[in-house]
Amino acid sequence: MISEQGAILIATVYPIGLLLLLVEGVEAFEAFIHLFGQRLRSLGFFVSVAEITAVTMSIAFCVYSVSSGTALDGFQAVVVSVSGGLLMFLFALAAGSLLGRGGISIDRLRSSKKSDDE
């Protein structure tokens, strides 16, 4: 069960997460393919589409919950929880791909810090 206050928070945070996922979606998709191999390319596409659908449904459930003043329970709470977990998983893949492939290279950050110190 997700309280009305929790639904307010989720309805505020999930759209931001969805926007970031759409902006960085290519990186997350490439990271998924890199992690699991080319054979699972269609699975990565399916996971991305399922996540966008689940987050959109979660936002709709939360907005309905807030507008009606009731808590989320049952199927709605499960969809919101699962989509949040999947959203965190895809963010981890996107962050890992950015850190691992030079989008935000730790070595580059260290070298720029050394040049600033000199």
Mean pLDDT of 8-36: 75
Q: What is the pLDDT of residues 103-113, one digit of tens each?
A: 544 455 556 55
Q: Where are the domains of the chain?
A: 4-117
Q: Which one-letter amino acid corresponds to residue 13?
A: V
Q: What is the pLDDT of residues 26-40, one digit of tens each?
A: 666 666 666 667 777
The two three-digit tokens of residue 29, written as one number: 């998709």
- CB under 8 Å, gap of 24 or more: what pairs does 53-59 form? 54/79, 54/82, 54/83, 54/86, 55/14, 55/17, 55/18, 55/21, 55/83, 55/87, 56/18, 57/83, 58/10, 58/14, 58/83, 58/84, 59/10, 59/11, 59/14, 59/15, 59/18
| Predicted local confidence at residue 51, as pLDDT | 83
Q: What is the pLDDT of residues 38-71, one digit of tens each?
A: 777 777 778 778 888 888 999 999 999 999 998 8
pTM for this one?
Answer: 0.69
